Amino acid sequence: MPAERKPSYLNFDSEKYPWKQDIDYKDNPEKYRVGKGEQGVLICEPYKSEIGQFWRFRTPEVAKESSKKIFEMFSNYIRANDFVGADMARKYLQMGYTRARRYANYKGGKKYDKDKDYKLLERGTGSAEKAQSAEIFYSTYKLAEAHPIYKLLKADWKKRLG
């Protein structure tokens, strides 16, 4: 039987984390790393402040408006040849999907019970409305991920800087 999974934030080591809160990634884009999934999305300024204020998924209507605005920002970053901004916008779209999906799967969006040694909570107790929000973000995230210029910029970035 596999070992019980626990939240990754329990053993988080900020010293080893490649993204830092005290770096302005617009002024120092060379310090940005693509990473996996949504890594760095809640740290990298000024993008966190620029994009995060529009990130919402409470209802499908809110998710549609939010994902549309963030994709518009993504497109603007691409036009400005700002890969870091585009990648951060893509990460917010991905996070819209994953967080809404968590609320669709778990009541209140809580996956672990911290009072019971972080045991996984019962799945399937969440909201159908959040599942709709997740689908909205997922389709927009996939549009961003498949954008031909973004794909070229990302491949070049990873080759040069990681």
Residue-wise pLDDT for 20-51, tens only, equals: 899 999 999 999 999 888 998 999 999 999 99
Is 49 part of a structural domain of the chain? yes
Q: 7 pLDDT band (50/70/90 cuts)?
A: low
Q: Which is nearest to 136 in space by CA: 110, 87, 109, 100?
A: 100
Q: Which residues contact 80 (CB under 8 A, 6 or more apart)?
A: none
Tens of pLDDT, residues 99-114: 999 888 887 777 776 7
The count of structural domains within the chain is 1
**What are the pLDDT digits (tens) for 37-87?**
899 899 999 999 999 999 999 999 999 999 999 999 999 999 999 999 999
Residue 1 domain flag: no
**Is residue 146 situated within a structural domain?**
yes
* pLDDT of the residue at 130: 92
**152 part of a folded domain:** yes
For residue 141, the enclosing domain spans 22-30+38-160
Domain-embedded: residue 67: yes
Does residue 142 lie within any of the structural domains?
A: yes
